[in-house]
Each structure stands twice: as structure tokens, then as C-alpha cells.
Amino acid sequence: MTAIESLPVPLLAYMRSYARRRRWQRLIVRLGLAMLAFLGVALLACLVDRLIALPAPLRAAALIGDLLIAGLIAWPALRECFAAQTDWRRLAHQLERHDPILSERLLTIVSRLLGKQEQTGSRPMLERIARELSVDVDGRDVSALLPARSVARPWAAVAILAIIILFLSMIPVLDLPALATRFTMPWKDMPPDHHSSDGDPGQRRSCRRPAASGESVCQASAQRRSPEPIRDRRSDAARQGAWRFQS
């Protein structure tokens, strides 16, 4: 049994409950920030791809960089969530900041218990302070210290960005679904404007292969077929009648 486990049961349960709730809340916040960063970078890359038709290597680099950014944002919370040991000193600092009823007594107890044996101090005094803290925190709910609304901000930003992306996907000239496919599958040889001439049979597509990138770039030309002349049926009938009369 460690020195921290020698604390009274209500106080130890209070500390563990706070650590567990804060750990999962931090994970949810970090995942929301990672999702926000991923969607933001992806949208920016798609818009740049619409402007200058990025080649496949640059799209692949943008995708890998976007995944790395999201992973770096979420990694600290993932590491803390699945850590085998608890940093009790750090936990005591966090509890002291959020719960004024502790009055630095918890930090004193944890520091003395985890310190050197000669710096522990009076054992009866530490036990008395621990019993007092145990009575003060018995039955307290840690959700008052860590409300659920604190994790809603990054996900609210994700929802707003998702609405913006949905709105942009409805603009035909952007063709955002095709750009998203090019971003998520950069190895797929698909032009950024492959839907631009689907709805108009009068448009033609001209493709060229640049020598630098080696990737086919297709452009939809706005050349339309010239309308055929409308023939006058009455004049045709008159000419046929005149030919029969002469014969």
C-alpha cells in the first residue's frame, strides 16, 4: 500500500473521482479541438485545390500534415487518459484551484506523504488534517467543480464549421465533394472540376497533361454547338409543288 492509499476513504475517493472526471473531460475537449483543426485544414486545402489544382504529391502531403496536427492535439489527453499512474501532486494542485474548501490542506498532506521521510513532519498532525478534510469533502459532487458545459465549446465550433462546409458543398461551382475526394484520396487521378460539364451536353472538355506534374488536368470549355437553322416547311412544300408542275 502506497502512502496516498493510507488517506481516509472519503478523501481518497473524492480525489480519484475528480481525477477520473477531469481526465475524460480533457480527452473530449482535445478530441473536439483535433476535429476542428482537421476540418479547418481540410477545407483550406480543398479551396486551394480549387484555385490552383494541386498535384497529387502536394495533396498527399497536406493530408498527412493534417492528420499529424490532429494527432498532436489529441495525444496529450490520450496519454493522460490511459496512464497507469496518477500524478498526485499535480492532482492536488488542480483540486486546490477548483475547490476553495481545501485551503491548501490537501497539497500539504500530499507533499508531505510523497516527500522524503525526514521531511514528513508530525504524523499525528497529518492524520488530523486528513480526517478534517475527509469530513469536509464527504458527499461532495465533483461535477460542481467540473461542469459538463466546459467541454461543449470546441464541439460547438466543430458544429459551426460543419454547417459552413455543408453550405459550401451546395455551391455547384466549388464542387466541394469532388475536392474532398481528391483530398482524402490524393492518389486517385480525378480532375477538380470533373462535374462541371455533366449537366450541359453542349459543353466540351479539353484535357492536357503538363510536363511538370504529370497529372492530367481537364478543363471544361464553354463551347456550345451552334443551333441548326430552322427550315421553313412552307417554302419546302412550295418548291415541291413547283417541281411537280414543271414535270
Q: What is the pLDDT of residues 65-105, one digit of tens each?
A: 999 999 999 999 998 888 768 888 888 888 988 888 888 88
Q: Return the pLDDT at 183.
A: 94
Which residue has cell 482537421? 38
**Is this prediction's pTM over 0.75?**
no
Continuous segment of H or E residues that includes residue 206: strand 204-208
For position 172, what pLDDT does the model report? 92
pLDDT higher than 80, residue 201: no
pLDDT the model gives residue 163: 97
CB contact at 8 A, 56 and 215:
yes
Confidence of residue 49 (pLDDT cuts 50, 70, 90): very high
Smallest Cα–Cα separation from 57: which of 238, 230, 212, 171? 212
Q: Which three cell numbers stand for residue 217?
A: 488536368
**Nearest by Cα to 67 from 188, 186, 215:** 186
Confidence of residue 224 (pLDDT cuts 50, 70, 90): very low
CA distance 207 to 216: 7
pLDDT band, very low/low/confident/very high, at 221 (cuts 50, 70, 90): very low
- Higher-pLDDT residue of 104 and 162 is 162
Q: How many residues does the chain have?
A: 247
The pLDDT assigned to 239 comes to 53
pLDDT number for residue 176: 94
The pLDDT score that the predictor gives to residue 109 is 86
* Over residues 174-183, mean pLDDT: 93
Quick one: average pLDDT of 235-239? 52
Range from 58-72, 99-113, 200-214 carrying the lowest mean pLDDT: 200-214
